[in-house]
Amino acid sequence: MAITVRICDLMRHEGQDVEIRGWVHGLRTGGKIAFLLVRDGTGVCQCVVEAARPDAFEAAVSAGHESSVRVTGRVRLDPRAPDGAELDTERVEVVQNVPDYPIARKEHGIDFLLRHRHLWIRSPRQCAILRIRDTVVRGIHDFFAAQGFVRIDTPILTPGAAEGAATLFPVDYFGEKIYLAQTGQLYLEAAAMALGRVYSFGPTFRAEKSKTRRHLTEFWMLEPEIAWAELPDLMDLAERLICDLVGRVLERHRAELELLERDVAALERVHPPFIRLTYTEAVDLLRGTDTRRRLEEELERERAELAAGQARHGELEAQMATVKKGWAQDRLAREIAALRERLAHMGQELENRPAHIEAASRFQWGDDLGGDEETILARLFDRPVMVTRYPRAVKAFYMKPAPDDRRVVLNVDVLAPEGYGEIIGGSQREDDLEALRARMAEEGLDPAPYEWYLDLRRYGTVPHGGFGLGLERFLAWMCGLRHIREAIPFPRLMGRIYP
């Protein structure tokens, strides 16, 4: 009896007869031999089937893409094989033959792919992203456990807003109108007064009515909250956390990053100290003539890159006319499609860029830093940028004003490089009862549902603070994704709730 082995473990079974179970990932035939590629979620194995075994051969060549199969054979190590080992196949059992898998090897539009997300996640690219996501989530828990933080699960059904009424999702709670949580922060503040250092990691909901590449309506947020902490402590923690997580991804996922065509060198540059700027300094930078010159030079460089890419696209199209049908042609077609998509995005981005550069140069102190300004700021540096002390008026009611300048708050936003924008938002919290009440009044918030929160300022208040890291934003940056929707298994976006 052949033992059942996962493909990632095949290397340890050289010369043995084994069975693998998985899905057909590809097939190539050359007369008397067939090469059946089987994936099982842990890897891809090339099963070599000779026509001299007619049953196995017939089964292999008749199984369509994503058919479920059991394959038995003898393991042979081969450095050219996708995961280092091949199978000299004896038997192929087709559990279910799939003649018509909807996701073909050719191109599909994004709308089609999103409607078939339940199948799309089987593709190597999506599997790579999901594996990296798993590593980052485990990394988060390891990191905080090692520093003595206690994990707290905060409620999803909540009575009020914490991050602005505009993005609340209402829920009918036995006739009472309540909301899905926008953040666990207020509850974490209570828990920090109980346990000192706490964190939560869970789904968060925002009714984002705009379609951007950075917003989901359901996303996962990591939120640490620390008693007796001030803004610099929070910034140090955020810096250490990001470096730790980037390090884990680089250490474990070289193959996945390569498959995603991620520029690994850009991630290797992520180490302390990050750039630290106040909002006021950021405004000066945005408006500076020097910045404008640098951005315009960069724009010229990228326009030249676009032109080179377009030339390359033309060459590949010409090649396409000369290659024979089959795998080589499929591969070329995929390469052309990927290049075309990249060029289309680049073209669009470059078209918008002059307007962004113009808007940045006219930015006024007091405006909120939006996605475009964040992108421009992050473009000026090759490491994450931490922007502190935003105007009080553009930030949440719970943020503590700076004692030396009441116009600004003790907050920090961390901007990822390469145009990924804000990945972390956090602050020191207002810990004084009267000051907090005044801020709530300023924002027009009814204090009644927040009485419990105000209690934290009545019974043993201390300086404290925390931040939130958006998991999908972080992953989009790690994986070099153009849009956040690929960073979560089943994205929830405005106008999209299926599957």
Helix (H) or strand (E) holding 400, with range, is: none
- Picked from Mg ion, ligand 4AD, none, the partner binding residue 139 (CB below 5 to 8 A depending on kind) is none
Q: Does 216 bind ligand 4AD (CB under 6 A)?
A: yes
Beta carbons within 8 Å of 43's beta carbon, 6+ residues apart: 6, 7, 8, 10, 82, 83
The letter for the amino acid at 369 is L
CA distances from 117 to 60, 75, 205, 222, 256 (A): 27, 34, 21, 25, 20
Q: In the bound complex, which residue of the shown chain has the CB atom lying closest to Mg ion? A: 425
Give the residue, chosen from 46, 67, 89, 183, that forms a contact with ligand 4AD under the rule CB under 6 A.
Answer: 183
- The CB-of-261 to ligand 4AD minimum distance in angstroms stands at 23
Whichever of 43 and 425 has its CB closer to Mg ion, that residue is 425
**Size of the chain in residues:** 499
What residue has token string 């033959």?
97
Decide if residue 425 touches ligand 4AD (CB under 6 A). yes
Compute how many residues bind Mg ion; rule: CB under 5 A: 1
Residue 425 binding Mg ion, by CB under 5 A: yes
Alpha-carbon distance 376 to 41, whole Å?
A: 39
Residue 44 near residue 28, CB atoms below 8 Å: no
Q: If binding is defined by CB under 6 A, does position 388 make contact with ligand 4AD?
A: no
Instruction: Give the footprint of Mg ion on residues 444-463 (CB under 5 A).
Output: none
CA pair distance 467, 475, nearest whole angstrom: 17
Tokens representing 498? 């299926």
Taking the C-alpha atoms of residue 70 and residue 89, their distance in angstroms, rounded to an integer, is: 11
Q: Quick one: what does residue 223 bind among Mg ion, ligand 4AD, none, with the CB cut-off 5 to 8 Å set by partner type? A: ligand 4AD
Residue type, 66: E
Whether the link from the prior residue into 499 is cis, omega within 30° of 0, is: yes
- CB of 77 vs ligand 4AD, minimal distance in Å: 44
Say whether residue 468 binds ligand 4AD (CB under 6 A): yes
Does position 208 interact with ligand 4AD (CB under 6 A)? The reply is yes
- From the CB of 425, what's the least distance to ligand 4AD, in Å? 2
Tell which one of 424, 456, 475, 478 touches ligand 4AD (CB under 6 A).
424
**Smallest distance from the beta carbon of 425 to Mg ion, in angstroms?**
3
Q: Is 422 in the site for ligand 4AD (CB under 6 A)?
A: yes
Taking the C-alpha atoms of residue 110 and residue 115, their distance in angstroms, rounded to an integer, is: 9
423 binding ligand 4AD? (CB under 6 A): yes
Partner interacting with residue 206 (select from Mg ion, ligand 4AD, none; CB below 5-8 Å by kind) = ligand 4AD
Q: For residues 439, 440, 442 and 448, what is the CA-based torsion angle, rounded to 10 degrees? A: -150
**Both tokens assigned to 276:** 């630290």
CA distance 187 to 25: 47
Question: For ligand 4AD, which residue of 219, 363, 390, 450 counts as binding (CB under 6 A)?
Answer: 219
Nearer to ligand 4AD, 7 or 408 (CB): 408
Does residue 90 interact with ligand 4AD by CB under 6 A? no
Q: What is the DSSP string of 20-39?
A: EEEEEEEEEEETTEEEEEEE
- Does 473 interact with ligand 4AD (rule: CB under 6 A)? yes
Does position 215 bind ligand 4AD by CB under 6 A?
yes
Verify binding: residue 477, ligand 4AD, rule CB under 6 A.
Answer: no
Cα 4 from Cα 107, distance rounded (Å): 35
- Rule CB under 6 A: is residue 392 a binding residue for ligand 4AD? no
Interior angle at CA 270, CA 266 and CA 271, nearest 5? 150
For position 467 contacting ligand 4AD by CB under 6 A, the verdict is: yes
Residues that bind ligand 4AD (CB under 6 A): 162-163, 183, 185, 206, 208, 215-216, 219, 221, 223, 422-426, 466-468, 470, 472-473
